[in-house]
């Protein structure tokens, strides 16, 4: 990696996090701490306002606007592959959002790279069994509920084919056994439950915040499979 690419990389890293210590930058770009200081100084001299807080690290002064990021062809290729995977494993809500993001990425590519990407687009195919078809569009709403910590109201078909109404606090999304599952705290059962998304008939976001202030991390929820 040449120095200019590394300087842009450091700016991108600083934009992606609240604070970044010098040691983290040196590890990420495999350079010495001494070079990190020189690079930070160079970024500052280029007009990008970098500041730091003791024991936290460097940060870009809030409010500073940087131009849109650009992508290399390799990065765009990797994202194109992700699009195929999301097409197979995501639902309609996530697919449309990802398509929108990839359109923006295509827009900032050089013309020659756009043509290469278009060629690659026609050369990738994901063949999945019929049971994986995702005819729902709940994933995006569930993601929002998790990040905003808002309750969800769902109607759910039980194994006995009864329709159950539940108010839940989602803590995570898990894909296993060829299906997406919401792991959530159920207000009725007063415990964490696993809701298979294919069995959800309706799903509504509420504006009600979580009642439980500190949920278990998703990693602590025991799934019925172990692979």
Instruction: Based on the shown chain and the rule CB under 7 A, indicate whether residue 120 belongs to the binding site for DNA.
Output: no
Q: x/- string (CB under 7 A) for DNA, residues 165-194?
A: ------------------------------
Q: Which of 12, 23, 201, 204 binds DNA (CB under 7 A)?
A: 23
Q: What residues numbered 33-62 form the site for DNA, per CB under 7 A? A: 33-35, 37-41, 52, 54-58
Nearer to DNA, 23 or 115 (CB): 23
CA–CA separation, 145 and 183 (whole Å): 12
Smallest gap from residue 28 Cβ to DNA (A): 12
Q: What is the DSSP secondary-structure string of 115-176?
A: HHHHHHHTT------GGG------HHHHHHHHHHTEEEEEEEE-TTS-EEEEEEEEEEEEEE
Nearer to DNA, 23 or 148 (CB): 23
- What tokens were used for 1? 């990696």
Smallest gap from residue 27 Cβ to DNA (A): 11
Smallest gap from residue 51 Cβ to DNA (A): 8
SS3 content of the chain, % helix, strand, coil (to 5): 45, 25, 35
Smallest gap from residue 42 Cβ to DNA (A): 8
Smallest gap from residue 35 Cβ to DNA (A): 3
Q: Which of 112, 14, 109, 17 is nearest to 70 (CA)?
A: 109
Q: x/- string (CB under 7 A) for DNA, residues 57-86?
A: xx----------------------------
Q: Contacts with DNA: how many residues (CB under 7 A)?
A: 22
Collapsing DSSP to helix, strand or coil, 14 comes out as: helix
Q: Which of 3, 17, 18, 204 binds DNA (CB under 7 A)?
A: 3
How do beta strands 179-186 and 191-196 pair? antiparallel
Nearer to DNA, 34 or 204 (CB): 34
- What tokens were used for 9? 């990389």
Smallest gap from residue 24 Cβ to DNA (A): 8
Q: Which of 16, 30, 217, 219 binds DNA (CB under 7 A)?
A: 30
Q: What is the DSSP secondary-structure string of 202-226?
A: EEEEEEEEPS-SSPPPGGGS--S--
CA–CA separation, 196 and 174 (whole Å): 9
- What tokens were used for 6? 């590394």
User: Which spans of this chain sit near DNA (rule: CB under 7 A)?
Assistant: 3, 6, 21-23, 30-35, 37-41, 52, 54-58
């Amino acid at each position: 990696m040449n120095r200019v690419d590394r300087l842009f990389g450091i700016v991108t890293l600083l934009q992606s996090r609240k604070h970044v210590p010098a040691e983290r930058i040196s590890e990420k770009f495999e350079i010495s701490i001494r070079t990190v200081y020189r690079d930070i100084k160079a970024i500052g001299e280029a007009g990008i306002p970098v500041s730091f807080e003791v024991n936290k690290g460097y940060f870009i002064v809030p409010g500073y606007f940087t131009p849109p990021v650009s992508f290399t062809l390799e990065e765009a290729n990797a994202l194109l592959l992700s699009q195929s995977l999301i097409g197979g494993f995501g639902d309609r809500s996530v697919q449309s959002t990802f398509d929108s993001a990839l359109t923006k990425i295509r827009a900032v590519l050089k013309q020659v790279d756009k043509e290469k990407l278009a060629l690659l687009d026609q050369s990738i195919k994901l063949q999945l069994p019929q049971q994986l078809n995702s005819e729902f569009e709940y994933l995006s709403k569930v993601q929002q509920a998790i990040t905003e910590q808002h309750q969800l109201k769902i109607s759910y078909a039980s194994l006995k084919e009864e329709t159950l109404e539940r108010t839940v606090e989602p803590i995570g999304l898990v894909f296993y056994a060829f299906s997406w599952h919401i792991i959530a705290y159920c207000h009725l059962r007063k415990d964490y439950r696993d809701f298979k998304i294919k069995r959800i008939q309706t799903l509504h976001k509420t504006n009600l915040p979580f009642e439980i202030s500190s949920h278990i991390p998703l990693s602590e929820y025991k799934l019925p499979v172990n692979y």
